[in-house]
Amino acid sequence: MIKIRRNNRYNKLVFCEFCLDFFGNQSELDRHSRKCTWTHPPGNEIYRSDETNISVAMFEVDGKKEEKYAQNICYIAKLFLEHKTLSFNTHPFLFYILCEITPRGCVMVGYFSKEKYSEFNFNLACICTLPCHQKKGFGKFLISMSYELSKIEGKSGSPETPISDLGQKAYNSYWQAKLIEVLSQSKQEQLSLKELCKITSMTLENVTQTLKDLDVLHYDNREGHHIAIPESLIKRYQEKRKKLEENRGRVYVRPADPNKIRWYPFHALEMNKQARKKAEDQKL
């Protein structure tokens, strides 16, 4: 159950933790809960992992097929994201629901959405972690998942702009950690910016700006632009990561593991459906 305090007709709104229907008082939710048979989001499970003191799963939900569920997600996100524009047309979007696996079922802790067909290669439209589940790594997990899906699609991506100050801060943290990880683990003596884009699925603009923010992108007349990452920066990153991994008492989710993803791009599935339909029509 999610409780949100609002200054309106009701003192609080209560939500079903599975189908996300919302009600004005607890008695209505109790009556609904006795009839609700849902135990997970209405979509395909594309990821499952056992993390530190928690097990998580992710589901892909089509905003066209599950319109009411998708609209309920948007209502919830609007309560916590002041800059979010509430849209009732969820058909152009896919929703990726991150859930905690409990004995009762898969309970939503956060989500991100993306356009099915993005003209500007945006890999994320909206992202939200419920306030009661923050500081557990869910935000970075959602961001990392959006980039892992871009890798499967074979293209670079970025979040939809403009982005909120809080969202920009989260992305800067992810981008910096990802580039430090790639540069510190690379066995190649030289890596071009294009190669970094291919490895991370980040756009050239995001890679360049992040390297500048880290103060590791330099220029001289002889070598031109080059990356020089100090050992102290790598050491700080490794110590921070080690500290998180050693704290076994907290609930923490690592970035998405690409080996655990079971997913096909939406446009590939649509093309496959059209090809099958065409083949069936030709038989007739």
144 closest CA partner among 121, 122, 175: 175
- Long-range contacts formed by 112-121: CB under 8 A, 24+ apart: 112/142, 112/143, 112/145, 112/146, 113/63, 113/73, 114/146, 114/149, 116/92, 116/266, 116/267, 117/92, 117/267, 121/155, 121/156, 121/157, 121/158, 121/203
Measure the CA–CA gap between 233 and 189, rounded to whole angstroms: 18
Please pick, among 17, 160, 189, 205, the residue that the annotation labels catalytic: 160
The HSE-up count of residue 225 (CA atoms within 13 Å, CB side) is 8
Q: Are strands 217-220 and 224-227 parallel, antiparallel or unpaired?
A: antiparallel
Q: Are strands 158-159 and 122-124 parallel, antiparallel or unpaired?
A: parallel
- For the chain, the first-to-last Cα distance in angstroms comes to 51
Judge whether 28 counts as a catalytic residue: no
Contacts of 98 (CB under 8 A, 6+ apart): 56, 57, 58, 108, 109, 110, 111, 138, 141, 142, 145
Measure the CA–CA gap between 19 and 39, rounded to whole angstroms: 8
The residues that are catalytic are 160
